[in-house]
Amino acid sequence: MNKPIGIFDSGIGGLTVAREIIKTLPYEDIIYFGDTARVPYGSKSKETITRFSKEIVDFLLGKKVKLIVVACNTASSNALPELESNYKDIPFVGVVKPSVKKALSLAKRVIGVIGTRATIESGIYSTVLGDRFKIVQKSCPLFVPLVEEGFINTPFTREITEFYLNPLQKENVDALILGCTHYPMLKNVIGDVLGEEVNLVDSAVEVATFVGELLDTEGTKNNRRTPTYSFYFSDIPQNLSKMVDRFLGRKVEIEKVFLG
């Protein structure tokens, strides 16, 4: 089916998901929307997050997408159930359940979760993980600005990472969910700090795998064709283009579309 996959996020973090989907499903068209004019979602009410998400879904449906990836932990935990209830003719994929599924398959004793303060305080991962394993969670608020400023492999970034991850190391986590779509950009330093005995669960990778399996099941996967990629943002602040290119690992054209 030659229809695109729609992906949206409150900003640019979901580009890590787009990057993995492009890598995993190289023949699929992609339409990405980042709500950079209204980011962050984490400080807003559930009702506002849901309203913003519906506006973006309507935009993506206007682009004739065949599937929508909610590449935002805040929107996944607050708006996804209502989206699925209101838009029954299109499948949705959030970022939480694919990551949880992978973590449950890897863990032996303790599962760690790191994310933004809003995601950790929502309790979504505890709810979905259940009580099979001990769960240790930690908010890492400085990770997002570090990534967006390009401080990926600096001594300062490592020092912050060691500080955040120390409580998880003390609890001997053996699987760690990177519960924010920015965090895959820091996967190397996180893995280096924790050591190879800790399995990292990259939400971007797991979502891309899940999307591929879903398209296979529904018989809508594209094969052997040249794809097109479109990237829309509700605002284009200074340096956005550079950040987009860094997240995607390629240069792309971006376009402004404000939905409010």
- Residue 140 falls in the annotated catalytic set: no
Residue 224: the pLDDT is: 82
* Mean pLDDT of the chain, nearest integer: 93
**pLDDT tens digit string along 115-165?**
988 888 888 899 999 999 999 999 999 999 999 888 998 999 999 999 999
Residue 16: the pLDDT is: 94
Residue 225: the pLDDT is: 86
- Assess contact for 80 and 8: CB atoms under 8 A: no
**pLDDT tens digit string along 195-232?**
999 999 999 999 999 999 999 999 999 888 899 999 99
Which domains does the chain possess?
5-94+205-256 (3.40.50.1860), 96-203 (3.40.50.1860)
Residue 227: the pLDDT is: 94
Residue 116: the pLDDT is: 85
Residue 1: the pLDDT is: 63
- Residue 72 falls in the annotated catalytic set: yes
Residue 36: the pLDDT is: 95
State the catalytic residue, choosing from 180, 186, 198, 244.
180
Residue 42: the pLDDT is: 77
State the catalytic residue, choosing from 15, 65, 72, 118.
72
Range scoring the smallest mean pLDDT among 5-19, 114-128, 243-257: 114-128
Residue 193: the pLDDT is: 96
**Of the ranges 32-36, 39-43, 149-153, the best mean pLDDT one:** 32-36
Quick check: 260 pLDDT over 80? Answer: no
Single-letter code of the amino acid located at 40 = P
Residue 34: the pLDDT is: 97
